[in-house]
Amino acid sequence: MANAVKLIAKYMERNAGGRDAETLRDLCSALESETHFELSRLYDLKAKAFALAMAMIEEWRFDRHVIERRLQKYLAQEENLAQEEA
């Protein structure tokens, strides 16, 4: 997510106090904390902010997939070790 986060941070600096920057901040916060975000807010974004929001969601989804795969691999290794010890 680092790439999208950096781009969003730059966008927010250049557009501080704007509605689009606030929406992007709220989206990032909701993704990180796994809380509710009203998707209809994305419709009101300007094209650049909308593209950043989509990039953020795409990277968030990919990162979650990678973490899930790593967790599954770790749990499988732990289970194999437990079976070998038994």
**What is the tens place of the pLDDT at every residue in 50-76?**
999 999 999 999 888 777 777 777 777
- Residue 25: half-sphere exposure toward Cβ, Cα within 13 Å: 13
What is the mean pLDDT of the segment spanning 3-7?
A: 91
Measured between alpha carbons, how far is 76 from 70 in angstroms, rounded to an integer? 10
Residue 80 scores a pLDDT above 60: yes
